[in-house]
Amino acid sequence: MVITDPVYFIALPLLTAFLLPLFGKIYKPLIGIIPGLVFAFLAYISFDLYLNLVPGKPIIIQMAGWAPPWGINLVFSEFSGLIVTLITFLAFLVWVYSYNFKKVGFDNSKKYFTLLMLMVAGSIGVVLTGDIFNMFVFLEITAIYSYGLTAFYKGRDSAEAAFKYLLLGSLSSVFILLAILLLYKQVGTLNMADIAVKAQSIDPKMKSIIAILFFVGLGIEAEMFPMNGWVPDAYSQAPGPVAASFAGMLAKSGIYALIRVFYTVLEVKGVFDLLLIMGLLTIIFAEFSAMRQKHLRRMLAYSSIGQMGLIMVAFSFNTKAGIFAGLFLMFNHAIIKTLLFLSSGFLTYSTKQKKIRDLDGFGKIMPFTSLMFGLGAFAIVGLPPFSGFWGKLNMLVATADSNLYFVIALILLVAVVEIVYYFKVIGRLYFRQQHKDVEVHNPTWNAILAMSILAIVIIGVGIYPDLITDYLTKATNELFDKAGYIHSVLPNLSLN
């Protein structure tokens, strides 16, 4: 069966989420099985759609029978389709990983899977929608998902983390709404392509205020310094697979929104310089903070922020090379960080404090999980022959291409810092004596499967990056071609 309508990416998870409690009443294990089937199906159709995409001809879907700009539309293009495919793939893996969620009880696993379905629908919605307000709605869906699942476990400081996230998230939505309101009043439309056409006539001062509001609002979601205080807390307190989904899916949709707005919707001079500076500051503060962390998850969280900063820097070049590198980094970050969070979930399973110090000698008692973590660490710091290397190399080439030598130096300097803290962990895992007896929680077969698939992707892309570079190039061209986007969404519009 070939489904040509990307609306299923949103409709199906929503329908499943709504009906999941009923399935649970019919037969309890369905709570776990149905989401898996849905994710598998979504992953399948996303691959199918993406691979059959005709270049330059994105799939444009209108809602409720109204063509854009009257109605809301979805755009499944080389760029958005790539991210969607990535999200569905990771969603499926996260499901595989957490399928045996027995420990938390039936009621909670019901909530967990329901929330997971909604989050997938939300982050896909952010990526696919062609309407600025609709994007806001989907961003809120992902935000509330995060608040709920960050606070999922009691006993930890999870509520504290979630509250901080909520505080900043609420500010973010206020600013985004203000921006949308101002924008609407200027152009009288909410369709992104339509805005893109009409935005040229906006008074530059007004435009700059709108841009700033978007920048701050979306910057919070994209983990930009100095608005990322919530990130380390949320990542470290959420359940392992949830933290993985933050890094792999949520952060992706946040940065996607930021990119889409500034590349396609609002062309504002100077915003990319700002993005460069903020991206660099994000990297510096995050990586330096990561260096001094004693808790594994917090370290990973700060490292994630650093990666997001790097992605921002890549996109700030506003060149094809930069976009390509940014996409590569996004791909790597999604895959590798997911692996790191998934494996760290089992590494820190039995220690309450989740301190790095407690991991001494785990390489021996939890060989597979440690290996996966080690692999992830090697890959994320950009060592060949893993996929992280190609992202970093392309990133540096793009930076050099923009003549920003000091940025190269800075990125590499920070990479050294990254190496130091990741290798400290590896040193502890493999080359230290285990200092006390710990209860070993070896991963379940499904967790092993999920992690193995990620590892295979990391090594596969590392050895042969051209597995994905073609798609990244296509996505790059799509994002860079603003007129093409406008034309596909509003074919009847005469651009003069």
Which positions from 84 through 103 interact with another protein, judged by CB under 8 A?
Answer: 103
Q: For residue 479, state whether it binds another protein (rule: CB under 8 A).
A: no
Q: Which long-range contacts (CB under 8 A, 24 or more apart) does 167-172 make?
A: 167/230, 168/220, 168/227, 168/229, 168/230, 169/143, 169/220, 169/221, 169/230, 171/217, 171/220, 172/143, 172/216, 172/217, 172/218, 172/220, 172/221, 172/227
Tell which one of 35, 58, 69, 309 touches another protein (CB under 8 A). Answer: 69
Q: For residue 355, state whether it binds another protein (rule: CB under 8 A).
A: no
Residue where the block lists tokens 């776990």: 32
Strand partners, 57: 54
Other CB atoms within 10 Å distance of the CB of residue 371: 16
DSSP state of 131: B
Min dist. Cβ of residue 22 to another protein (A): 5
Tell which one of 229, 318, 442, 482 touches another protein (CB under 8 A). Answer: 229
| Residues 408 to 437 in contact with another protein, rule: CB under 8 A | 408-409, 412-413, 415-416, 419-420, 423-424, 427-428, 430-433
| Residues 318 to 347 in contact with another protein, rule: CB under 8 A | 345-346
Q: Stretches 41-49, 65-73, 79-87, 254-262: which one binds another protein (CB under 8 A)?
A: 65-73
CB 232 within 8 A of CB 298: yes
Residues 315 and 193: their CA atoms lie apart, in Å, by 20
| Residues 17 to 46 in contact with another protein, rule: CB under 8 A | 17-22, 25
| Residues 251 to 310 in contact with another protein, rule: CB under 8 A | 268-271, 273-274, 284-285, 288-289, 291-292, 298
Q: Stretches 43-51, 87-95, 170-178, 329-337: which one binds another protein (CB under 8 A)?
A: 170-178
Q: For residue 60, state whether it binds another protein (rule: CB under 8 A).
A: no
Residue whose C-alpha is closest to residue 279's, from 323, 312, 316:
312
- The SS3 assignment for 197 reads helix
- When the beta carbons of 207 and 337 are compared against another protein, the nearer one is 207
- When the beta carbons of 81 and 465 are compared against another protein, the nearer one is 465
Looking at residue 187, its amino acid is V
Angle between helices 387-401 and 296-316 (to 10 degrees): 40
Min dist. Cβ of residue 481 to another protein (A): 19
Min dist. Cβ of residue 42 to another protein (A): 15
Q: For residue 187, state whether it binds another protein (rule: CB under 8 A).
A: yes
Distance between first and last Cα of the chain:
42
Tell which one of 29, 55, 226, 491 touches another protein (CB under 8 A). Answer: 226
| Residues 361 to 380 in contact with another protein, rule: CB under 8 A | 364, 378
